[in-house]
Structure 1
Amino acid sequence: MKPSANGLLTQVSIVHLISHLHIMAVPAMLPLLPAAMQVGFVELGVAIGVFNVVSAVVQAPLGFLVDRWGARRMLMAALVLGAAAFALVAAVPTYPALLVAMAIAGLANGVYHPADYSLLSRGIAHERMGRAFSIHTFAGFLGGALAPPLMVGAALAWSPRWSFAIAALAGAIGFAVLLLGGREPVVQASASPRAAERPRTGSAMAPVATLAVLTLLFTMLSLSTGAIERFSVSALVQGFGVSLGAANLALTVFLFASAIGVLAGGVLADRTARHGHVAAAAFAMAAMLVVGVIQVPLSAPALAVAYGAIGFLSGIVAPSRDMLVRAASPAGAEGKTFGIVSTGFNVGGVIGPILFGYLLDKGLASGVLWASVCFMAITTAMVLFQERKEPIRPALVRR
C-alpha cells in the first residue's frame, strides 16, 4: 500500500532522526571516550573523519543507486548497516573496532540524504515542500539533540558500550518502521502549474557551477556548526572552566533550538525567494553571539540561552538551503543532486574533527569557537557574493 503524504513524511522524518542520532553518537561521547578507549582527541577526530570520508566517497554514487533501485529499499539497507556498526562497538568497545564501525556507519550515512529527499520530492505536493523539508530537518536536529542526554546518560549510568547499544537499537527500530510503512511513491506529487520551470528529467544533472557552489556552501555550513555541535563541550570544559553538566546542557539547548529554528525556517522557505539573504543574516548574527560566548564569562543559564539563540539562527537556514538544492535538481534526479551537494557536509566533517581535535590537544580550546566564527563569516560572505553575482532562485515561491 502506498503511504499518504503525511505517512511518508512521518516515516522519512523518523529515519532522519535516527540518522542524526548516529551522526552525533561519537561526538556526544567525546568528553568520556579518551579515558574509556585510552586515546586522544586527535584519534577520536580521525574516527569521526573516517565516518565522513566514507560518506563523502559513497554519497554521490549512492544517490544514483537511489534513483535506480528505489529510495525506500536503500534506506532499509542503510539502517541495517548503521545498527550493525554501533552493535560492533557495543560488543567490542575498543578504538580499532570504533574505526571499523565508523567506516560502516559512514557507508550507511551516505544513503540518507539522497534517499530522504528523493522520497519527499516524489511524494509531497509542491506547495507544502518547504514545510515538509523543515519537518524532515527538524526531526534530524531532534535526533542530534537527543544524542547527548541519551549517549552520555547511558555511559554515566552503565558504561559507554551501552550507549552504543542504544544507537544500534535505534537503527533496528527505523528498519521496522520502513518495513511496515508501505511502498515507495512512484508519481511525482510535487508538480505545479509552473513545473516546467524546473529542469526536466531529461537533464541528467544540474549545471556543474551550481553544484559546486551548493557543495561548497554545505561544506562551510558543516564546518560552522560542527565546531559547536561536536567539540564545543570539550572546549568549554577545557578552556572556559565550564562544568561538563553545564556544557552538555548548553549543547542540548543549542540542538533543540536548532530544531525549532528549522520549523521557523520552513515557513520562510515557502514565503520568500531571498534564501541567500536569510542565510547570510542568520549566520552573521550567530557569529556575533559566538564571539560573545568567547569574550564574556557567562553563568550556566546565560550560556544555555546564548547557545539556544545560536542554534535557532543556525536552524533557520536549513529549509531554504534544501529548497535551493531542489530547485537546481532536474525532476526525477533528486537523489543524484542531493547526493552530490551533501558531500559538502562530509568534506567539512573530515576537515573539522581533525582541526578541532588538534586545537584541543594543543590546549587551544578557545580556537574551536573562534574557528566556528571564522567559518560562519566565510559562509556569510560567500552567500552574499553569490546572491550578488548570480542568485539561485527556486522555480516557485509561495506568495
Structure 2
Amino acid sequence: MNTATLPLSAAQSAKRDIQTISLIGLAHGTSHFFHMLLPPLFPVFMREFGLSYSELGLLVSIFFVISGVGQALSGFLVDRTGARPILFLALGCFVLASVAAGTAHGFSGLALAAALAGLGNSPFHPVDFTILNKRVSQARLGHAFSVHGITGNIGWAFAPVLLLWIYEGTGGNWRLGYAATAAWALFVIALLALQRDAIDDSQGAWGHEKAGAAAPVHEHPMAFLKLPSVWLCFSFFFFTTSALSSIQSFASPALNAMYGLDLTVTKWVVTGYMVCGAIGMVLGGFLVARSQNLERNIAWAMTGAAVLLALTGTGWLPAGMALVAAALAGFGTGLAGPSRDMLIKKAAPPGATGRVYGTVYSGLDTGFAVAAPIFGALMDRQWNNAVFIGASLALLMGIGAASLVRKVPKG
C-alpha cells in the first residue's frame, strides 16, 4: 500500500510543512547569499583591478540579465520536469561561481563569476514556490512565504559579513573568502540531498488537482502572458528591486561621501537593511493571515520605506541618524514581502504557477540589471544622494503597480 497517499495527522502535517519550509528557506537564503558574491568586495576590486563604479555596475547587470532570462525560461522547465533536480543544478553553479571569483585576475574573471552565479540564481523562485505551494498546507502558506523572504534577507545580510570578516581577518586575502562560499554551497547540496524527500514536488498537489476540484482548462502554455495582472506584478518587482539594487551596491560609499562616515561603519548599512527586512517579514506573515487587502499592506509598508530613504537622500539628517534611517527602510519593504508573494499566487492561473513566478520574478532580475549601471554612473558623477532619492521614487512606482493588480482581470 502506498502510504504517501494516506491522510496525515495534524502533527505529521505540521512536521512535514516545517521540514519543507526550512529546507527551501535554506536554499533560498543561499541564492540570495550568492547575489552578494561580488558587491561586498567592490572597493577591493576597484583598488586591485582599477575598475570604475560603472564597471562594477556592469558586473551586477551581467548577473541579473542572465538570471532574469533564465528565470523566465526555467519556469516552463519546472512546470514540465519538476523542481527538485533543477534546484541541485542551480546550487552546483554557485560552486563554480565561487571558483571563478576566487581565481579572477581582472574584470573578465569577475564577469565569469557573475555569469555563473546568475545562471545558478535563475531557477530559484519557480523552484521554491512550486515546492512550497505543492507541499505546504494552505494554513501555513503565508508563514512559508514569510520564512522564504526572511531567509533571503538573511542571505543578503550574511554575505558581506562573511566576506569582509575573512578579508580583514586574513590581512586582505579576499580569495580565501571565495573558498568559504564554495564550501557553503557544497554543504547545502549535501544537506538537501540527505533530506531530498522533503523537497520532492512530485509528492504534492496543486489546489486544482485535489479530489473534487474542477479540472483546469487546458490553454496554450503562453496564454498566461496575456493577463495584465502578470505584467503589473512584473512591474512591481522591477521598480522595487531597482530600489534594492541601489541600496545593496552603493548605499555604503554614498553615505561615506555624503555624511563623512567611515566605510568600516557604512558597510553595515546593507546588513542592517536586510536584518530590518527580515524582522518586517516575520510580522508580514501574520499580516497576510489577518488581512484580505494585500495591496493596502504593500502600500503602507513601502511608503514608510520610501519616506526614510528620501530623508536620507536630502543630506539633512545627522550622520548617525542617516545610517539608521537607511537601514530601517528595510523594515517597510520586508513587511510588504509576504503580501507581495501571496498577491502573485492569486494572479497565477491553475497549472501555470511555475511559469508565472518565473516571469514575474524575472522583473526582479531586470530591475537589478537596469538599475545597477545607472546608479553606478550617478556615483561616478558624484551624485551620491541620487542613490537614496532614486530608490525612494522607485518604491513609489512599485506601490502604483501593486495597487492596480486588484482592478484587472486575473484570467
Q: 1:150 to 1:82 in 2, by over 3 A?
A: same
**Partner residue in 2 for 1:181:** 195
Q: 1:68 to 1:244 in 2, by over 3 A?
A: same
CA–CA distance in structure 2, aligned partners of residues 106 and 42 of structure 1? 19
Is 1:275 paired with 2:289?
Answer: no
TM-score with structure 2 length normalisation? Answer: 0.88
- 1:327-367: CA deviation from partner (whole Å, max 9, x where unpaired): 22233432211111111011111111100110111111111
Q: Which amino acid aligns with 2:177?
A: S
Shift in Å, 1:196: 8.8
Is the 1:199–1:328 Cα contact (8 Å) retained in structure 2?
no
CA–CA distance in structure 1, aligned partners of residues 214 and 116 of structure 2? 36
**Partner residue in 2 for 1:164:** 178
Shift in Å, 1:392: 6.9
Is 1:390 paired with 2:408?
Answer: yes
Is the 1:91–1:161 Cα contact (8 Å) retained in structure 2?
yes
CA–CA distance in structure 2, aligned partners of residues 372 and 52 of structure 1? 18
**Partner residue in 1 for 2:21:** 9
Select between 83-92 and 328-337 the one with higher mean Cα deviation: 328-337
CA RMSD of aligned residues (A): 2.5
Is the 1:324–1:392 Cα contact (8 Å) retained in structure 2?
no
Shift in Å, 1:241: 1.3
Is 1:53 paired with 2:65?
Answer: yes
Is the 2:278–2:331 Cα contact (8 Å) retained in structure 1?
yes
Shift in Å, 1:190: 6.3
**Partner residue in 2 for 1:335:** 354
Larger Rg: 2
Unaligned runs of 5+ in 2: 5-14
Is the 2:40–2:164 Cα contact (8 Å) retained in structure 1?
yes
**Partner residue in 2 for 1:89:** 101
SS in structure 2 opposite 1:390?
coil
Unaligned runs of 5+ in 1: 394-399
Q: 1:392 to 1:146 in 2, by over 3 A?
A: farther
Is the 1:199–1:331 Cα contact (8 Å) retained in structure 2?
no
Q: 1:99 to 1:80 in 2, by over 3 A?
A: same
CA–CA distance in structure 2, aligned partners of residues 240 and 163 of structure 1? 30
Shift in Å, 1:194: 11
Select between 39-48 and 224-233 the one with higher mean Cα deviation: 224-233
Alignment of 1:207-356 (within 5 A): 207-295=226-314, 296-300=316-320, 302-356=321-375
Q: Which amino acid aligns with 2:202?
A: V
- 1:32-65: CA deviation from partner (whole Å, max 9, x where unpaired): 3211322111111111101111111111211111
- 1:236-279: CA deviation from partner (whole Å, max 9, x where unpaired): 11233121122122221111010111111111112212111111
Q: Which amino acid aligns with 2:375?
A: F
CA–CA distance in structure 1, aligned partners of residues 214 and 57 of structure 2? 40
**Partner residue in 1 for 2:10:** none
Aligned length: 391
Q: 1:290 to 1:129 in 2, by over 3 A?
A: same
Is the 2:255–2:266 Cα contact (8 Å) retained in structure 1?
yes
SS in structure 1 opposite 2:196?
coil
CA–CA distance in structure 1, aligned partners of residues 212 and 408 of structure 2? 21
- 1:299-344: CA deviation from partner (whole Å, max 9, x where unpaired): 43x3443234211111011111111111222334322111111110
Select between 104-113 and 235-244 the one with higher mean Cα deviation: 235-244
Select between 107-116 and 197-206 the one with higher mean Cα deviation: 197-206
SS in structure 1 opposite 2:37?
helix
CA–CA distance in structure 1, aligned partners of residues 37 and 86 of structure 2? 22
**Partner residue in 2 for 1:363:** 382
**Partner residue in 2 for 1:71:** 83
Q: Which amino acid aligns with 1:95?
A: F
CA–CA distance in structure 2, aligned partners of residues 326 and 200 of structure 1? 16
Structure 1 residue runs of 4 or more that deviate by more than 4 Å after TM superposition = 192-199
Q: 1:71 to 1:358 in 2, by over 3 A?
A: same
Q: Which amino acid aligns with 2:216?
A: R
- 1:343-395: CA deviation from partner (whole Å, max 9, x where unpaired): 101111111110011011111111111111111222223333445x43879xx
The structure 1 residue matched to 2:157, chosen from 145, 167, 173, is 145
Q: Which amino acid aligns with 2:384?
A: A
SS in structure 1 opposite 2:36?
helix
Is the 2:227–2:410 Cα contact (8 Å) retained in structure 1?
no
The structure 2 residue matched to 1:126, chosen from 118, 138, 145, is 138
CA–CA distance in structure 1, aligned partners of residues 111 and 21 of structure 2? 33
Shift in Å, 1:93: 4.1
Is the 2:206–2:351 Cα contact (8 Å) retained in structure 1?
no
Q: Which amino acid aligns with 2:287?
A: L
Shift in Å, 1:16: 0.7
- 1:46-100: CA deviation from partner (whole Å, max 9, x where unpaired): 1110111111111121111112222111010000011111111112343211111
The structure 1 residue matched to 2:55, chosen from 40, 43, 49, is 43
CA–CA distance in structure 2, aligned partners of residues 74 and 192 of structure 1? 24
